[in-house]
Amino acid sequence: MSPSARKLIAVALVVGALAVAAVLSAQHRRHLVDAGRAQAAAAAERAWDERAQALGGLTAPMAERARLVASLENFQGILKATTSQSDLKELANTLADALEHESWLRTPVAGTATTFFLGKHLVSSQTPALASRFERLLEGADLAPAGALVAQDGKAWLLALARTKTENLSGEPAFVGLARELTTADLGTLPAGVAVSLVVEDRTREAITTGSAEGVASLQRRRTSKVQDESGCCVVKDLEPGLSLAVFRDPSPERTAAEAEASRAQWPRFGVAAGLSLVVAALLVFTGRRSRDDEARDALLRETQAQLRQSHEVLQKLSTGAFATQAANAPGLAALDDGLGATQASAQSSRYEVIAPLGEGGMARVSVAVARGAEGFKRTFVVKRLKAEHAGNQELVNQFIDEARLGASLVHSNIVPVFDFGRDAEGYYLAQEYILGRSVEALVEAAVRASGRPPAPALIAAIGQEALKAIAYAHTRTDAAGKPAGLVHRDVSPANLMVSQRGEVKLLDFGIVKSADRVTKTQAGMVKGNLFFMSPEQARALEVDFRSDLFSLGMVLAFAALGRTLYQGDSVLELMNRAAVGPTAADLDVVRAGVGPFAGFLEKALAVDPALRFQTAAEMASALAQAVPAAPAMELEALMRTLFQAELESERRRFSEKA
């Protein structure tokens, strides 16, 4: 080979090496930015939880104030002798007068409006618009004072109701109601970078707003803009029907940290490329001199080509993220065994310490694990590991990578996020949020065991509405170019819907999701998913779209309302046939007879022809709300306490002790 030809090859190789380094650095930067966004979203969720807990804590002091007013001696003295309308008027006047003299009470109640009931009948109210709200509290006020947060007439209110110990001559007790409009002071002292809004009237009107100007503006844009906001800054969720809490938490610390780590991580790649350039430069020097020995020149070229291959392998290893966790503490190529000439990366030990196994499938093992950091930091995760025997199966490896990549890109309060992905001495792994809770499957089975019947329809509707939020988010995702991503979960089932100890509903397991961006594709004729819940077109191995997930959620809600699966079968083949045929006339008769108010809704959701079903998650959510109003999240939390409190507390303590 002539010296000119060798020079051209050397220059081409240098340009190629630098281009590979640039591409790999860009890919890794995107991965780190996505991870930073997920961390910011989790921090925003925690900020929302803190504000919601603080607001919920206002009801107890308000209920105590109502009890103090109801226990006033002169008020109860008049009540004992009440026989006429004039007596009732005197009672109402006494109550109003009490609130103008704070010295009568141990707790100030200035600025509080009153409502007065005798028995179950309204006598007087300084806030007539709230009378119906008090009547709802009245249903549970026989045993103890009750408090609540409500929205009315564009404002947020704190209500409390208490019963008198004394009764009138007819044996009727009196009930005293207190109402106070919430102010910014009730939102508490906010940390830097946090803004809060209480929003009423279907999240369109702000009742109270406080915090930084940037945060308030971000919350307003989040509520009103039709453009999807993926910054991880904001969380907007319902506290009560008609009353939402919106929280902004500045995502810039996580974003800045991700950018800094990406900048540090790019130096090893370009270091390899620079080393490669030096080798090629040396080759150019040597090829500039005429050698007497052509064989020696050829040997030098072969050695350089081998060095190029080894450097390319190093770049590929860096692109997998195997050294990402070491980048901050070991810049350069310190993590490699033999520097630039090394062909294998030394095996890193796992940063996740397994504390309890959760399960095992054909492809992966799932465990509860703890990750530790500086200054005693630790956090619990669910770690999913590809089995060692599959490490050489590129199809399964690509499928596992797809699951991690897609999971990390989905940032939503109703989706279990993927926080980390990598490869260590034990192989490929992904780390997800640890949810202290139970699957919908376990919840329904426990409810049937405990009471002989499924959960109440309003609770099932709450699960359905929260699941639809996650499905709608996934279905409407777009790629970097703004094109629809075409995400279809394909495995919506009771086992893949979690209900946390606090009543939150989370969708998980995007392992077989259909996406335009997947590396792996389902082969024609191959069926994946749960036969009890998959759509007929999925069971027939036909093309599926968003409507397939909506059918599967309909099957989940039918399971929850019936307390058992709709299909019954003794073999996989029989179940496959049932799923491919879809709900028969006999199946729909079972649904109509056994699901109560869900009947009409489920009849449309479970249509065999996709064109006859709900066409979008938003349409399905609207129909579900009309069929069965959803219970508040606190009622779902109460059900979890009733069914699982002892074992969840035991689980929490066990994992905490092991960690």
**pLDDT for the residue 94:** 67
| Beta-sheet strands, E only, within 539-604 | none
Structure tokens at 613: 């079903």
- Residues 76/106, Cβ–Cβ less than 8 Å: no
CA distance 602 to 591: 8
Chain centre distance of CA 42: 8
Q: Do the Cβ atoms of 633 and 492 come closer than 8 Å?
A: no
- pLDDT at res. 240: 83
- Does the pLDDT value for residue 572 go beyond 50? yes
- Of the given ranges (256-260, 329-333, 517-521), which has the lowest mean pLDDT? 329-333
For tokens 């009930």, the residue is 175
Nearest to 454 by CA among 589, 558, 601: 558
Q: pLDDT-derived band of residue 325, with 50, 70 and 90 as boundaries?
A: very low
* CA atoms of 35 and 42, how far apart (whole Å): 11
Q: Which region among 101-105, 160-164, 548-552, 652-656 has the lowest average model confidence (pLDDT)?
A: 101-105
- The residue with tokens 């997947």 is 518
Sequence-separated (6 or more) residues with CB below 8 Å from residue 154: 200, 201, 205, 207
According to DSSP, the residues that pair with 114 across neighbouring strands are 178
In the chain, the percentage of residues whose pLDDT exceeds 70 is 72
Measured from the Cβ of residue 48, the count of other Cβ atoms closer than 10 Å reads 23
Q: Above 90 in pLDDT, residue 629?
A: yes
Mean pLDDT along residues 578-605: 94
Strands 205-211 and 234-240: unpaired
Q: Is the pLDDT of residue 346 over 50?
A: no
Question: Are 460 and 628 contacting, i.e. CB atoms less than 8 angstroms apart?
Answer: yes
Q: Which residue has the higher pLDDT, 514 or 276?
A: 276
Q: Which two tokens stand for residue 93?
A: 């006047």
Which has more pLDDT, 602 or 97? 602
pLDDT tens digits, 460-489: 999 999 999 999 999 998 877 888 888 898
The fold of 59-181 is: Beta-Lactamase (3.30.450)
Residues 548 and 491: their CA atoms lie apart, in Å, by: 10
**What confidence tier does 561 reach under pLDDT thresholds 50, 70, 90?**
very high
Architecture of domain 352-434: 2-Layer Sandwich (3.30)
pLDDT value at position 465? 97
The pLDDT of residue 277 is 56
Report the alpha-carbon distance of residue 517 to residue 283 in Å, rounded.
Answer: 41
Domain boundaries, the chain: 3-39+253-341, 59-181, 352-434, 437-654
Model pLDDT, residue 341: 32
What is the model's pLDDT at position 599?
95
Quote the pLDDT of residue 523: 37
Strand partners, 415: 507
**CB 176, CB 66: distance < 8 Å:** yes
Instruction: Tell me the mean pLDDT in the region 336-349.
Output: 36
pLDDT value at 83 more than 80: no
**Can you give the pLDDT at residue 446?**
96
CATH fold for the domain made of 437-654: Transferase(Phosphotransferase); domain 1 (1.10.510)
**Selection from 139-148, 275-284, 435-444 with the highest mean pLDDT:** 435-444
Confidence of residue 223 (pLDDT cuts 50, 70, 90): low
Quote the pLDDT of residue 466. Answer: 97
Q: Which of 81-85, 216-220, 294-298 has the highest mean pLDDT?
A: 216-220
592-623: per-residue pLDDT in tens?
Answer: 999 999 999 999 999 999 999 999 999 999 99
Per the prediction, the chain carries an average pLDDT of 77
d(CA 305, CA 278): 13
Answer whether residue 102 shows pLDDT above 50. Answer: no
Q: What is the pLDDT of residues 145-200, one digit of tens each?
A: 888 888 888 888 899 888 888 887 777 888 888 888 888 888 888 887 788 888 88
Report pLDDT for 625.
96
Q: Are 254 and 232 in contact (CB under 8 A)?
A: yes
Instruction: Give the mean model confidence (pLDDT) for residues 64-93.
Output: 72
Q: Which residue has the higher pLDDT, 289 or 134?
A: 134
Q: What is the pLDDT of residues 42-71, one digit of tens each?
A: 888 888 888 888 888 888 888 888 888 888
pLDDT of residue 450: 93
Task: Give the pLDDT score at 551.
Answer: 97
- Selected residue with higher pLDDT from 604 and 248: 604
CA dist 47 and 43 (Å) reads 6
Res 315: pLDDT: 42
Q: Residues 501-558: pLDDT tens digits?
A: 999 999 988 655 444 444 344 433 344 568 899 999 988 888 899 999 999 999 999 9
Which CA distances in Å does 63 have to 68, 104, 148, 550? Answer: 9, 17, 9, 43
Other beta carbons less than 10 A from residue 166's beta carbon: 17
Q: Among 119, 163, 115, 123, which Cα is nearest to 142's?
A: 163
Q: Does residue 343 have a pLDDT over 60?
A: no
Q: What is the pTM of this model?
A: 0.49
Q: What is the pLDDT of residue 141?
A: 53
Mean pLDDT throughout 121-144? Answer: 77
